[in-house]
Amino acid sequence: MKILKKGILSTFQDKGRFGYQSVGINIGGVMDNLSFRLLNMILGNHSNEAALEIHFPGPHIEFEEFCFFAITGAEFNATLNQKLLTKNKIYKAKPGDHLVFKHKSNGERLYFGVKGGLEVPDWLNSKSSNSQLNFPEFCQNLALNNKVELAIDRTQYGVSFNYNFTSKIIRFVPSFEFEKLDIASKKNLLNSDFLITKDSNRMGYRLSGEPMVLLENKEMVSASVTKGTIQLLPDGQLIVLMADAQVSGGYPKLGFVIENDVSKLSQLGFQSKIEFEMVSYEHAVKIMLQTEKSFDLIKKSLKLREKEN
């Protein structure tokens, strides 16, 4: 397929590059893991098949061969030859068809994939772009007129599924450093709104709110961090680490956003307000198991639909 217009920050992503944090290489990968998983389930692809993570304005894609594709995540009012598409459903494209994203109405990141997968170079067991590396061949940002070969599978079926990410409640499991906050800061963290600032990106979402204060302000030893870690910055503000987070950091870790809500957070844009809700480790596990149950039901319904077709 040919990219006639590349849009803003369209990159190839999968689950990420695991096992190399010890040598300073971050995990990276998709921001919204739930939408990514749903995309590959709908397409019948391998669970870690690379997809395009698209921001608005998105790319203008011209298909050069037959393929089946789907989109999940944000609502960018995608059209195929001027016909409005529904997300979370398979569509068939033929040579000469044009995929365009008209305007953004909900969410920040859309995922596009094709049945059979995109032929993207693999590096350290991942096809994810890494904009922090100085190797352009590994960044894989879409370029004008860049051609991506399509592995075609002609099996066709369509499935609709609604994934709602409009809630502003972000749940987290506290870490032991949460107890180092003074009483007023604990109350503010759990009862105040926080604004996502314009300084937010794939590395982390910087928040603006009532400054947090520690009972004792002392230098800390750097420790490992990961996607979803809530850190307290020197100015008393918070940052939630996202997909391109560094591998270690020395700021106090107040807690860890649960995976479902990291996906939800990734679909909120600048100036959005969020509220934190503290949950226990046991409750976080319960939420995870409920999510897995939901995905298992989707898998079964997709298999049933495929047999019917």
**Per-residue model confidence (pLDDT) at position 130:** 77
Q: pLDDT tens, 250-262?
A: 899 999 999 999 9
Q: pLDDT tens, 42-100?
A: 998 999 999 999 999 999 999 988 889 999 999 999 999 999 999 988 899 999 999 99
The whole-angstrom separation of Cα 121 and Cα 230 is 33
Give the other-Cβ count within 10 Å of 188's Cβ. 18
Per-residue pLDDT of the chain (309 residues; tens, 9 = 90+): 888 888 888 889 999 998 888 888 888 899 999 999 999 999 989 999 999 999 999 999 999 888 899 999 999 999 999 999 999 888 999 999 999 999 999 999 999 999 988 888 888 888 888 766 654 444 445 554 556 666 655 455 555 555 567 789 999 999 999 999 999 999 999 999 999 999 999 999 999 999 999 998 777 778 889 999 999 999 999 999 999 999 888 899 999 999 999 999 999 999 999 999 999 999 999 999 999 998 888 888 887 766 665
**Per-residue model confidence (pLDDT) at position 162:** 53
**Per-residue model confidence (pLDDT) at position 7:** 86
Written as one string, the DSSP assignment of 190-225 is HHSEEEEPTT--SSEEEEESSPP-BSS------EE-
Instruction: Give the predicted TM-score (pTM) of the model.
Output: 0.90
**Per-residue model confidence (pLDDT) at position 154:** 47
Token readout for 222 is 């750097």
Note the CATH number of domain 169-278: 2.40.100.10
256 close to 285: Cβ distance less than 8 angstroms = no
Give the start-to-end residue ranges of the domains of the chain: 2-139, 169-278
Per the DSSP assignment, residues forming a β-bridge with 249 are: 223
